[in-house]
Structure 1
Amino acid sequence: MFIIDLTIRNTAMTLSVQRKTQEEAEAVYQQVLEAIRSGGSSLLELTCDYQVGKKVSVVSSDISAVQLYEKSSTATASGRPPGFFALAE
């Protein structure tokens, strides 16, 4: 399973969707990158393969980062992969 995480401006929480294959995950990753690059405020709707019925909609101008990784059984102790960090207040 492959996970695509979206970090949203001014929000500590990440939004995630999952894809079964690397090709599908890469396609979603590229779709998000293109939405960010366009610079517009289009609405981006993503669905999840793991949780059927899960949908995430976000305004593309609010996305500050996107991350693609493969879910594995060797995740960190916190259950989150390395790569993104959050500043504690």
Structure 2
Amino acid sequence: MFNIDLTVKNTAFPLSVQRKTSEDAEAVYQLVLAAMRSGTPDIIELKCEGKTEKKIAVRASEISGVQVSQKDGAAAAGRTPGFFTATVE
């Protein structure tokens, strides 16, 4: 399962939906990226494949970041979810 997390301006927590395949997750990522680049206040509606009753709608102009991560593999590989990992030695 793949998570697509959207960071929205002036919102403390990300919005997320899930896709079952990496191809579907990449398609959603590209859709959101194209909407962010357009700069128009269009609304993006996304449905979750993990929780079928979950739907989100957000203005493209309010999205400040998008991230794709593999739900079950990220923690097992020792990577923390997020846009970057900082380590102090």
2:8 aligned with 1:8, yes or no?
yes
Aligned residue in 1 for 2:69: 69
Structure 2 SS opposite 1:69: strand
Structure 1 segments unaligned to the other structure (5+ residues): none
After superposition, residues 11-26 of structure 1 pair within 5 angstroms as 11-26=11-26
Q: State the distance in 2 between where 1:3 and 1:16 align.
A: 6
CA contact (8 A) 2:74 2:81 kept: no
**What is the TM-score normalised by the length of structure 1?**
0.84
After superposition, residues 1-89 of structure 1 pair within 5 angstroms as 1-72=1-72, 75=75, 81-83=81-83
CA contact (8 A) 2:4 2:16 kept: yes
Aligned Cα RMSD in Å? Answer: 1.9
Q: State the distance in 2 between where 1:48 and 1:74 align.
A: 19
**What is the TM-score normalised by the length of structure 2?**
0.84
Q: Which amino acid aligns with 2:31?
A: Q
Identity %: 54
Q: State the distance in 1 between where 2:74 and 2:57 align.
A: 30
CA contact (8 A) 2:5 2:67 kept: yes
Q: State the distance in 2 between where 1:33 and 1:73 align.
A: 24
